[in-house]
Amino acid sequence: MKWNKFTLKTRTEAEDIVISTLAEAGIQGVEIEDRQPLTEADKQQMFVDILPDFPADDGIAYLNFYLDEKEDKESILANVREALEELRMFIDIGEATIQESQTEDKDWINNWKEYFRQFYVDDILIIPSWEEVKEEDKGKLIIHIDPGTAFGTGMHETTQLCIRQLKKYVTPATELLDVGTGSGILSIVALKLGAHHAVGTDLDVCAVPAVEENKAANGIDRDAFTMMIGNLIDNKETQDAVGYEKYDIVVANILADVLVMLTPVIVKQMKPGGIYITSGILAEKEGVVRDAISHAGLTVEEVTYQGEWVSVTARKR
């Protein structure tokens, strides 16, 4: 099915009130495109591999809304334009021009799956949950993964760096803490390698169903992998729930700047002699993370590289 797409050009300072005005005129959903920079609070909430470089803010916002082909677009647009003209008397909303185009109805949540195919990280086969395991692969260590709307397929270099370190340090007694667990892939790898128990934390509630589905797909016992939502950096309740001096391994595949804030806190969760595996670090940020690790009283054991990415593994004294 095709949709009529309408793009309203306005000012970033006015976008909130313009969206409210559109809602009053019968537009129920709006897509925002602007160049407003992320706040420091926004950045701290983004447990991802790397923040993209955004262009400079030009003060312009584009608000996209969509109408079914069967809807009376002329009547709806007339209401929108009338409402915008009334709003203009009270606030500068910029041009408030509306451009029309057409777009296909797409399954945006699932279309990415056509690019995710099975692959190896050394001798570990990572395979999408919707693909069949080939006969010749059935004896290998296999990880079934479907990230859903959470982060983590295992394809990214940072995740692979963590997997290789987990292979070196996981034992049958391992209690693992996975900070920024996303799809749960690193905890699941550790458990399939023989770890005793894993705790995953994340800020995104989308991680909860993703983890549960991936646990089931990999035959992980419900009690072997505990999932929590909360910020370990500054939330005492989350820190208490995770527990202190109880983890043999902590793995954190997140931004270097977040690792700098996390490291002095996470030391308290680690057992003496515990291993701290970090990744999500661009090469130019390696020194910053190593300094944070040393200042927290940890000893760097190993630094590994893949492409432009770095993983630093340290031990608690």
**CA angle, 133 then 195 then 213, to 5°:** 45
Q: Give mean pLDDT, residues 91-97.
A: 94
pTM of the model: 0.69
Q: Give mean pLDDT, residues 11-29.
A: 89
Round to whole Å and give the CA distance between 161 and 187. 14
142, 125 Cβ separation under 8 angstroms: yes
Q: What is the pLDDT of residue 195?
A: 98
Element of type H or E holding 241: helix 236-242
DSSP three-state, residue 108: coil
Q: What is the pLDDT of residue 163?
A: 96
DSSP three-state, residue 207: helix
State yes or no: pLDDT of 225 exceeds 60.
yes
φ, ψ dihedrals at 282, nearest 5°:
-70, 150
In sequence order, the 6+-apart residues with CB closer than 8 A to the CB of 175 are 195, 196, 197, 198, 199, 246, 247, 248, 249, 271
Q: Give mean pLDDT, residues 231-244.
A: 96
State yes or no: pLDDT of 80 exceeds 80.
yes
How confident is residue 49, by pLDDT bands cut at 50, 70 and 90?
very low
Round to whole Å and give the CA distance between 105 and 67. 11
Q: What is the pLDDT of residue 48?
A: 47
| pLDDT above 90 coverage of the chain, percent | 62
161, 309 Cβ separation under 8 angstroms: yes
Beta strands in the chain (DSSP E): 2-11, 31-34, 60-68, 98-104, 119-121, 124-128, 141-145, 175-179, 197-202, 225-229, 247-253, 270-282, 298-306, 309-316
State yes or no: pLDDT of 178 exceeds 50.
yes
Contacts 24+ apart (CB under 8 A), 299-303: 301/275, 302/165
Q: What is the pLDDT of residue 39?
A: 61
